[in-house]
């Protein structure tokens, strides 16, 4: 049971650090929200999910194939840990110097969500480094259903956050300039480092088991 609680906490904290990060999707949501209100964030989240769900399933299929390899767990653990440390450092740095930006799109909110997700290399790198580790952990606990459970624990945050951002934008709120928002991002990424340490311990455990 402790492993389940730990995985749920890891998925939520790790996902939050990515979901709430200022980036193209966030900026587009601010811009679209000023015109469409909360429904803009909802549409953008729909577009994001249309790209993210197939990608997660494809990675999950890869995990099913590679999980039997002796060094797979060790490899994804250390890659995930190093990626978390790098990601957290970049996020803390950007949070401390965040400025309000917008990205205007000629497309509707739904298509904007699709394009800014599918064409975002940072999004792909996140899922093929940090993401593959939590997918692998979910698979170990619940087999293939674990991949879908993990996705459910992740995707609701995209919907909630992007809808909130677009709603606040419609009211003229400047979220990135808010000290509370920036402090929250810093705090989340500090906690994120803790999970990076856990990934390192997973790596050491996997190496030990492999040598035995």
Q: Tens digits of per-residue pLDDT, 57-80? A: 999 999 988 888 878 888 999 999
> Which DSSP string corresponds to 54-84?
HHHHHHHHHHHHHTTSTTHHHHHHHHHHHHH
Would you state the structure tokens that stand for residue 41, as one six-digit string?
């964030």
| pLDDT value, residue 102 | 57
151 in a structural domain:
yes
| pLDDT value, residue 137 | 92
> Which DSSP string corresponds to 174-195?
-GGG-HHHHHHHHHHHHHHHHH
Would you state the structure tokens that stand for residue 191, as one six-digit string?
């906690």
Any idea what DSSP says for residue 97? T
pLDDT-above-90 percentage for the chain? 43
Domain that holds residue 92: 2-207
| pLDDT value, residue 128 | 93
113 in a structural domain:
yes
56 in a structural domain:
yes
| pLDDT value, residue 25 | 87
The position carrying tokens 């803009």 is: 40
11 in a structural domain:
yes
Domain total of the chain: 1
112 in a structural domain:
yes
Q: Is the pLDDT of residue 140 over 80?
A: yes
| pLDDT value, residue 212 | 57
Label residue 99 by pLDDT band (50, 70, 90): low
Label residue 172 by pLDDT band (50, 70, 90): confident
> Which DSSP string corresponds to 141-177?
HHTHHHHHHHHHHHHHHHHHHHHHHHHHHHTT--GGG
| pLDDT value, residue 104 | 63
212 in a structural domain:
no
Give mean pLDDT, residues 17-38: 84
Q: What is the pLDDT of the chain when averaged over all its residues? A: 86
Label residue 103 by pLDDT band (50, 70, 90): low
Cβ distance 134 to 7 under 8 Å?
yes
115 in a structural domain:
yes
The position carrying tokens 């993401």 is: 131
154 in a structural domain:
yes
Which of 157, 152, 155, 117 is CA-nearest to residue 138? 152
């Amino acid at each position: 049971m402790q492993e389940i609680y730990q995985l749920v906490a890891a998925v939520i904290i790790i996902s939050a650090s990515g979901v709430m990060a200022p980036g193209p999707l966030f900026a587009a949501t601010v811009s679209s929200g000023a015109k469409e209100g909360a429904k803009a964030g909802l549409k953008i989240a729909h577009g994001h999910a249309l790209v993210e769900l197939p990608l997660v399933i494809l990675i999950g299929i890869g995990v099913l194939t590679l999980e039997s390899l002796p060094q797979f767990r060790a490899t994804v653990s250390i890659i995930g840990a190093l990626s978390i440390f790098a990601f957290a450092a970049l996020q803390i740095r950007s949070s401390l110097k965040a400025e309000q930006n917008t990205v205007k799109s000629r497309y509707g909110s739904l298509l904007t969500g699709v394009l800014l997700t599918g064409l975002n290399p940072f999004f792909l790198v996140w899922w093929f480094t940090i993401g593959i580790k939590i997918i692998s952990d979910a698979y170990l606990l619940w087999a293939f259903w674990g991949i879908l459970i993990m996705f459910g624990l992740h995707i609701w945050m995209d919907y909630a956050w992007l809808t909130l951002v677009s709603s606040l934008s419609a009211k003229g709120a400047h979220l990135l300039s808010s000290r509370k928002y920036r402090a929250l991002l810093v705090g989340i990424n500090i906690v994120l480092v803790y999970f990076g340490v856990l990934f390192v311990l997973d790596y050491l455990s996997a190496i030990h088991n492999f040598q035995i």
